[in-house]
Structure 1
Amino acid sequence: MFSRRVETVRSGLPVSARGWTWLLIALLVAALASGCGFRLRGEVEIPKDLTPIYVDSNPGSPVRSAIGDLLAGSEVHLTENPAEARLRLRILSESRSSRVAAVDANGKTLAYELHYVVRFDAVSPDGAQKVPPQTMDLVRNFDNPDVEVLGKQLEEDLIYQDFATDAADRILMRLRAVLN
Structure 2
Amino acid sequence: MRWVPLLLKTLRLPLLAALTVTVVSGCGFQLRGTSPVPAALQPLAIDCPESLPARFCESVREQLSLGGIELQPIETADYQLKLRNYSKDRRASAITAQASAAEYVLRHSVTLELFTSNQVPLIAATELTSSETYRYDETNVLAKQREEEELQQQLGDQLAQQVIFRLVPITQERIDAALKAHSANEKPSESP
| Two-structure CA RMSD over aligned residues (Å) | 2.5
Instruction: Calculate the TM-score normalised by the size of structure 2.
Output: 0.72
Mark the runs of 5 or more structure 2 residues left unpaired by the alignment. Answer: 1-11, 173-192
Q: Secondary structure at the match of 2:168?
A: helix
**1:153 and 1:35, CA in 2 relative to 1: closer, same or farther beyond 3 A?**
same
User: Is 1:161 matched up with 2:161?
Assistant: no
Q: Secondary structure at the match of 2:117?
A: coil
Q: Secondary structure at the match of 2:139?
A: coil
| 2:178 counterpart residue number | none
**1:35 and 1:178, CA in 2 relative to 1: closer, same or farther beyond 3 A?**
closer
User: Which is further off, 60-69 or 136-145?
Assistant: 60-69
| 2:107 counterpart residue number | 115
| 2:86 counterpart residue number | 94
Question: Equivalences for 1:48-87 in 2 at 5 Å?
Answer: 48-59=39-50, 60-79=53-72, 81-87=73-79
Residue 176 of structure 1, aligned match among 168, 172, 181: 168
| 2:6 counterpart residue number | none
CA shift digits 1:63-88 (9 cap, x unpaired): 21111221233221222x21111111
* Cα distance in 2 between the residues matched to 1:120 and 1:53: 14
> Aligned pair count?
160
Mark the runs of 5 or more structure 1 residues left unpaired by the alignment. Answer: 1-20
User: Which is further off, 57-66 or 42-51?
Assistant: 42-51
Q: Percent identity of the aligned residues?
A: 23
User: Which is further off, 125-134 or 69-78?
Assistant: 69-78
